[in-house]
Amino acid sequence: MRTVDKRVRVSRRDFMVTSGAAAFMITNIAVIHTQEAWGLEVKALRPATMRTLIQVARDIYPHKQLADKYYAMALMGYDEQAQKDPDLKTLIEMGVSGLDLRSRDVHHRAYAEVTNETDRVAMLKEIEGTKFFQKIRSGLVTGLYNNKEVWPLFGYEGSSWEQGGYIHRGFNDLDWL
């Protein structure tokens, strides 16, 4: 009698791809990150659009030490602005739709579902001259790096002038000089 192993074999690669894809759950009104245990409600933009924007933000400003929630926080300003500005809403929705369409043509899946970072960055390079890309890129500079919660993750202690300057707060910390 032959014994058949009925266990489903999952390779490490399959596990990583599957578990990574399941990190985000999209509802009608929200994007929920199941692994980091946070969610955000979107009011003007589609939740799927916000999910894609989070991946775009991570690809434009890649920092492995930053959780997705910091990128989401930086992008919430776009949702708030899109509530008041229908042209901005159209720009973002059409930009993401175009990116997803291009991704489906080339990789047979939406942009946020493409697992290879190099492939996603190549698609962003194709659109880097567009108004959509420039709007997202420029807004993220302040939205991401002005967030005081991310400063310690980069080793930045913040402004020191309020505390007397750097002379007594790290000026002589370099022991190799």
- Please give the full DSSP string across 14-67, using - where no structure is assigned: HHHHHHHHTTEEE-SSEEEETTTTEEEE-SSS-HHHHHHHHHHHHHHS--TTS-
pLDDT of 160 reads 80
pTM of the complete model: 0.79
pLDDT digits (tens, 9 = 90+) for 45-91: 999 999 999 999 999 999 999 999 999 999 999 999 999 999 999 99
| Residue 54 near residue 69 (C-beta atoms within 8 A) | no
Phi, psi for residue 31 in degrees, rounded to 5: -115, 125
Q: From the centroid of its chain, how far is CA 138?
A: 14
| Residue 57 near residue 140 (C-beta atoms within 8 A) | yes
